[in-house]
Amino acid sequence: MVKLAVRNITRNLRRSLLCAFAIAVSAMAIVLLFALIDGMEADMRDNLVKYYTGEIRIRSSGYAEHERYRPLYQSLDYATITAVLDRMDEVAASSGRIEFPLSIYLGERSRPAVGLGLDFEREHAFSNLGTILTDGRLPTGGTNELLLGAALAKSLGTNIGERLTLLASTAAGSTNAMSFTVVGIVTPPIGALSASALYLDLERAQRLLHMEGQVQQIVVRAVSKAPLSPLAARIAADIFTTVGIEVESKTFSQINELFALFLTARLIYYAIALVFFILGSTVIINTTMMVIYERMAEIGMMKAMGMQDGEVRLLFLLEGAFISAVGALVGVLVALLIAYLLGKRGIDFTEAMSGVDMEISSVLYPRTNVRTSIGIYVYGVLIATLATLAPTRRAAKIQVVEALNYV
Amino acid sequence: MSRKFLILTLCLSVATLLPLMGATAQQIIAALDANTHFSTSHSTGFITTVDRFGTRTSTFEAWAKGEHTSLIAFTSGLERGQKILRTESSLYLYYPDADQVIRLQGAALRQSVLGSDLSYEDLTKEGNTLSSYQATLLGEERFDDVLCWVVKLEAKSKSSAYPTQTLWIDQEHTVVRKARYATSSGRGLKEMEVIETMEVNGRVVAKKSRVVDLLKKNSHTTMHIESLEIDLALSDAIFGLENLSW
């Protein structure tokens, strides 16, 4: 039966190749779509953990209620909370941060920006600004020095060594200003950070904002790859039982709605994949139906010689399965090659992403995933093979006498 | 002798009040400006703010010259050394840790000073009220047992911080006892009450006043003037930008 199916496929090779091509294109499109989505998901996760929330973010329990006002008075005692975290075996690293809006004054010019006060020593486990430093050096602790995002530096026309005055609202609602020397330029992968962020030593930010010893948030990295939610809950409980402070402790996926949406959106992508394969399968369905009419006399003859209805159906099903197996394999392999090359080079969305405030990098690197690719291959072959079931039923129902009339 | 003195005092009092008896809103406001604006002044005092952060007190020293020029220097707490210089066209902020003086304009003038219920404009604005507002006399009312004129001021320009003001003006001393600042639709923005007055060179001025920013929750600010000297000799150099860093 297998030999017969293979022989039938090669009888009209051009038509079989066309069917395989349709399946190949569908499989390729789906593998590339998933590679891009996997790349975006990994990129977003990486950016969130490094530059925004850590794997887990701890804030004062009252912060969220007034979040839109950035209530810096809802702060945490850095030394107290860090001491608790340092004692927890499941916590690999933690670092305090203060994120605050400010105005940069440079002579008569001024513009809004976002200040990030960071504990540079502990930040190695997170943003590790040294890796994105494109010019100059990191600020020295306890000095009025800062790093500027590359796009922000460009828009200000500022170079290393120049002085900037920062005006910000303090934790108690008054204002304060301090002048800083630009000692380095960083290029964060996220366009919004590059265009609006500046980084200064945590102690200097505390002084500017009148928050001595306090931080707005503490970001945490876990030791294991285990689910983070239980650890986030344990951190909050440990802090409360040890030092009696109520905190909000959340994982990055709980904080970032877009990332959570990404995860649920996978179901939608599977549905899209199904539609792609059904579209690709229409070519197989159409071809099989044509073949059945073309081979009506042949089917009648085989049935007259004793071939059962089920065997006729199986024959056509095998033909469809072989074509889709080859087509899907070629499609998946080509897609993996393209994804690999794009993964090395990256896809530059800088223009498209300009002005978009998302935690996704301007240059995206698609990620190939062997398990996903095998899944898509099996899924594709299955859908395409099942799609041939309908026309094969027609073949099985053909009456011998009726079929022989086609001779 | 004492009877003659009494009659003389009564005559003088009547003579003083006569110009404002049956006065129009414009005359009342002009008299108010004349009473509360000085050619120069020097004062010290403190601002106490009570809000969600607790109670904070900042002491200050202030100088003013003419209608548009003033300087306030904060002398205690975290804001020690900060200065606010108001000139006719601009408002400058000096911070001890900043290289440059920051110039505020437009809406920034309405920002809170030291997180209090007072804005930069509240603290520094002087000038001719009638040039900015249209005044209407609403009537008379007693406030804290003091007979007051109730005058409504409506801003002539949309750029005014307070589109409408309702003032309760002490008829005897021509000083504001209470004020309500609101939007043109009547929504309250701030309220001010004079708790205590003092007499300086024959003029009665506010010594202790309480301001409530109605847009903030559970917050009020009390401003105390501890000392006030008026019409004294002040050097122009005090109000120079280059001198802010002293």
pLDDT in tens, A84-103: 999 999 999 999 999 999 99
Tokens 């210089």 belong to B85
C-alpha A211/C-alpha A70 separation (Å) is: 14
pLDDT digits 0-9 by tens, A260-283:
787 777 778 878 877 877 777 777
Inter-chain touch B115–A210, beta carbons under 8 Å: no
The pair of structure tokens assigned to A24 is: 């190949």
- CB–CB of A366/A36 below 8 Å? yes
Q: Are A105 and B102 an interchain contact pair (Cβ–Cβ within 8 Å)?
A: yes
% pLDDT > 90, chain B: 56
Kindly determine whether residue A174 and residue B95, on different chains, have CB atoms separated by under 8 Å. Answer: no
Ranges A139-148, A164-173, A343-352, B11-20: which has the least confidence: B11-20
What mean pLDDT comes out for the span A164-170?
94
Distance from CA of B106 to the nearest CA of A (A): 14
Across the interface, do B95 and A172 touch by the CB < 8 Å criterion?
no
Look at residue A142 and tell me whether its pLDDT is greater than 60: yes
The minimum CA-CA distance between B224 and chain A, rounded to whole Å, is: 19
The one-letter amino acid code at B175 reads V
C-alpha–C-alpha distance, residues A162 and A104, integer Å: 13
Query: Closest approach of chain A CAs to the CA of B79, in angstroms?
Result: 8
pLDDT interval class at B17 (50, 70, 90): very low
Percent with pLDDT over 70 in chain B: 89
Whether B56 contacts chain A with CB within 8 A? yes
pLDDT of the residue at A61 = 93
**Mean of the per-residue pLDDT values for chain B?**
86
pLDDT of residue A354: 64
Q: pLDDT category, B15, cuts 50, 70, 90?
A: very low
Which comes out higher in pLDDT, residue B7 or A57?
A: A57
Would you state the pLDDT for residue B20?
55
Which range in A382-391, B103-112, B217-226 is most confidently predicted, on average pLDDT?
A: B217-226
CA-based nearest distance A26→chain B, Å:
58
Please write the tens of the pLDDT for every residue from A227-250: 899 999 999 999 999 999 999 999
Asked if A179 reaches chain B (Cβ–Cβ under 8 Å), the answer is yes
**What is the pairing mode between strands A197-201 and B220-230?**
unpaired
Cβ within 8 Å, pair A165-B51: no
Mean pLDDT of B60-72: 91
Chain B residues whose beta carbon lies within 8 Å of the beta carbon of residue A144: 97
Long-range contacts of range A77-83, CB-CB < 8 Å, 24 or more positions apart?
A77/A213, A77/A214, A77/A245, A78/A119, A78/A202, A78/A213, A78/A214, A78/A215, A78/A218, A79/A213, A80/A243, A80/A245, A81/A218, A81/A239, A81/A243, A81/A245, A81/A247, A82/A218
| Closest-CA distance of chain A to residue B98, Å | 4
- Test A175 with B97 for CB contact under 8 angstroms: no
Q: Which residue has the higher pLDDT, B7 or A19?
A: A19
Mutate which: A65, A174, A203, vs B, most B CBs within 10 A = A174
Residue in this structure with the two tokens 């105390």, named with its chain if needed: B224
Q: Which of A108, A172, A179 sits opposite B98 (nearest CB)?
A: A179
CA distances from A253 to A37, A94, A257, A282, B210 (A): 16, 18, 7, 39, 47
Q: Do B98 and A107 touch (CB under 8 A)?
A: no
Contact B78 A210 (CB under 8 A): yes
Instruction: Please tell me if residue A108 touches chain B, with a CB cutoff of 8 Å.
Output: yes
Which residues are within 8 A (CB) of B232 and not within 5 positions of it... i.e. 6 or more apart? Answer: B40, B41, B42
Is B95–A176 a contact, with Cβ atoms under 8 angstroms apart? yes
- Neighbouring C-alpha atoms within 13 Å toward the C-beta of A351: 2
Q: How far is B115 from chain A (nearest CA, A)?
A: 4
Task: Give me the interface pTM, i.e. the ipTM.
Answer: 0.79
B114 at interface of A, judged by CB pairs closer than 8 A: yes
The residue with greater pLDDT, A2 or A149, is A149
Q: How far is CA A375 from CA A341, A379, A381, B88, in A?
A: 21, 6, 10, 74
**Interface list for B 174-213 with A (CB within 8 A):** none
**Residue B22 in this model has a pLDDT that exceeds 70:** no
Match 């038509």 to its residue by tokens: A15
User: Phi, psi at residue A246, to the nearest 5°?
Assistant: -85, 125
The answer to whether B242 contacts chain A (CB < 8 Å) is no
Q: Can you tell me the mean pLDDT for B194-218?
A: 93
A21 CA to centre of own chain: 29
Cα–Cα distance list, B31 to A274, B21, B24, B34 (Å): 84, 12, 11, 5
The answer to whether the Cβ–Cβ distance between A173 and B95 falls below 8 Å is no
Contact A179 B53 (CB under 8 A): no
Phi-psi region of A191 (alpha: psi -120 to 50; beta: other; left: phi over 0): alpha
User: In terms of residues, how long is chain A?
Assistant: 407
Per-residue pLDDT at B10 exceeds 60: no
Measured between alpha carbons, how far is residue A219 from residues A20, A80, A126, B45 in Å?
Answer: 51, 14, 8, 44
Mean pLDDT, chain A, integer? 88
* Contact of A384 with A320, CB cutoff 8 Å: yes
Q: Which of B99, B102, B115 sits opposite A174 (nearest CB)?
A: B115
Chain B environment of A179 (Cβ under 8 Å): 97-100
Contacts of A162 (CB under 8 A, 6+ apart): A106, A181, A182
| 3-class SS string, chain A | CHHHHHHHHHHCHHHHHHHHHHHHHHHHHHHHHHHHHHHHHHHHHHHHHHHHCCCEEEEECCCHHHHHHCCCCCCEEHHHHHHHHHHCCCEEEEEEEEEEEEEEEECCEEEEEEEEEECCCHHHHCCCHHHHEEEECCCCCCCCEEEEEHHHHHHHCCCCCCEEEEEEECCCCCEEEEEEEEEEEECCCCHHHHHHEEEEEHHHHHHHCCCCCEECEEEEEECCCCCHHHHHHHHHHHHHHHHCCCEEEEEHHHHCHHHHHHHHHHHHHHHHHHHHHHHHHHHHHHHHHHHHHHCHHHHHHHHHCCCCHHHHHHHHHHHHHHHHHHHHHHHHHHHHHHHHHHHHHCEECHHHHCCCCCCCCCEECCCCCHHHHHHHHHHHHHHHHHHCHHHHHHHHCCCHHHHHCCC
pLDDT tens-digit profile of B113-156?
888 999 888 876 666 788 889 999 999 999 989 999 999 999 99
Contact A119, A158 (CB under 8 A): no
User: Measured between CA atoms, how close is B111 to chain A, in angstroms?
Assistant: 9
Q: Residues B99, A166: contact at Cβ < 8 Å?
A: no
Give residue A286's Cα distance to chain centre.
37
pLDDT of residue B14: 42
B214–chain A nearest CA distance, Å:
16
Which residue in B has a C-alpha nearest to residue A169's C-alpha? B115
What confidence score (pLDDT) does residue A307 get?
80
Instruction: Give me the residue from B98, B112, B115 closest to A178, CB to CB.
Output: B98
Q: Does B7 touch chain A (CB under 8 A)?
A: no
A111 touches chain B (CB under 8 A): no
Residue identified by tokens 């003659």 is B4
